Structure 1
Amino acid sequence: MRLLKFLAVIILLLIGAYAASMYFFVDENKDFTIEREVDYPLAKVYSQFDNLQNFTRWNNYYSSSKTIKIDYYSPYEGEGSAISYKDPAKDSDGEMFIRYAKQDKGLRYQLFEGDNENPTVIEVKFEKVSDEKTHIKWVVHTPKLPVWTRVQNFWTEDRFTENINKSMVNLKNVLGNKVEKDNQLAAIKYDSIMVEKDESQMLLGVNVSTSNKKDALYKNLSMNYNKVYNFVTIDLGKKDDEFGYPMMISDPDNFKDKEISYFVGIPLSKKEGVSDNNFSFRTINGAEKYIIYYKGNFAGSVKAIQQLVQKAKKDEFRYGDVSHTFIEPPVENQDVNVKISLSVFK
Structure 2
Amino acid sequence: MRWLKFGIIIVLFFGAVYTVSMIFVEEKKNFTIEKEINYPIEKVFPQFNNLQNFTRWNSFFTDNKNLSLQYFTPYEGEGSAMSFRDRKDEDIYGDIFIRYENPEHTLKYQLFEGRKNTPYQIDLKFISENDKTKIIWYFHTPKQSFIKRSLNLISENFWVNNIDKSMKNLYHVLENKVDKETQLESLKFDSLIVEQQDSQLLMGINVTTKNIKDALFKNIVINHNKVMNYVKMDLGKKDDEYGEPILITDADNYKDKEVSYFYGVPVSKKETITDNNFSFRTLNSSRYYVIFYKGNYDGRVKAIQQLLTKAKHDTLRIGDLQQTFLEEPTTDNKTVMKLSLPVYK
Q: Deviations over 1:231-260 (max 9, x none)?
A: x868973355877769xxxxxxxxxxxxxx
Please tell me the residue identity of whatever aligns with 1:133.
K
Q: State the alpha-carbon separation in 1 of the partners of residues 160 and 270 from structure 2.
A: 32
Deviation at 1:9, TM superposition (A): 3.7
Q: Which runs of 5+ in 2 are unaligned?
A: 205-226, 246-264, 272-289, 293-302, 312-323, 328-337
Instruction: Name the CA shift for 1:8/1:134 in 2 (closer, same or farther; >3 Å).
Output: same
Please tell me the residue identity of whatever aligns with 2:202.
N
Indicate the SS of the match to 1:104. Answer: coil
Number of paired residues? 248
Q: Deviations over 1:71-110 (max 9, x none)?
A: 1111121111111111133440111111111100011111
Q: State the alpha-carbon separation in 2 of the partners of residues 67 and 237 from structure 1.
A: 8
Partner of 2:108: 108
Task: Please say if residues 126 and 135 of structure 1, whose CA atoms lie closer than 8 Å, have aligned partners that are also in contact.
Answer: yes
- Report matched runs for 1:244-323 at 5 Å: 295=292, 297=307
TM-score normalised according to structure 1 size: 0.59
Indicate the SS of the match to 1:147. Answer: coil
TM-score normalised according to structure 2 size: 0.59
Please tell me the residue identity of whatever aligns with 2:340.
V
Task: Please say if residues 67 and 85 of structure 2, whose CA atoms lie closer than 8 Å, have aligned partners that are also in contact.
Answer: yes
Q: State the alpha-carbon separation in 1 of the partners of residues 65 and 101 from structure 2.
A: 29
Please tell me the residue identity of whatever aligns with 1:335.
L
Partner of 1:226: 202
Please tell me the residue identity of whatever aligns with 1:154.
L
Deviation at 1:52, TM superposition (A): 0.7
Q: Deviations over 1:173-227 (max 9, x none)?
A: 21112212222222323599xxxxxxxxxxxxxxxxxxxxxx9x76x73xx2426
Partner of 2:339: 335
Partner of 2:132: 133
Instruction: Name the CA shift for 1:92/1:8 in 2 (closer, same or farther; >3 Å).
Output: same
Partner of 2:51: 52
Partner of 1:184: 183
Q: State the alpha-carbon separation in 2 of the partners of residues 160 and 186 from structure 1.
A: 38
Q: State the alpha-carbon separation in 2 of the partners of residues 5 and 115 from structure 1.
A: 37
Q: Percent identity?
A: 43
Task: Please say if residues 177 and 243 of structure 1, whose CA atoms lie closer than 8 Å, have aligned partners that are also in contact.
Answer: no
Indicate the SS of the match to 2:148. Answer: helix
Q: State the alpha-carbon separation in 2 of the partners of residues 89 and 125 from structure 1.
A: 35
Task: Please say if residues 109 and 123 of structure 2, whose CA atoms lie closer than 8 Å, have aligned partners that are also in contact.
Answer: yes
Please tell me the residue identity of whatever aligns with 1:88.
R
Instruction: Name the CA shift for 1:327/1:53 in 2 (closer, same or farther; >3 Å).
Output: closer
Q: Which runs of 5+ in 1 are unaligned?
A: 193-214, 247-264, 269-273, 277-292, 302-325, 338-346
Partner of 1:78: 77
Partner of 2:260: none
Q: State the alpha-carbon separation in 2 of the partners of residues 21 and 57 from structure 1.
A: 40
Instruction: Name the CA shift for 1:126/1:328 in 2 (closer, same or farther; >3 Å).
Output: closer
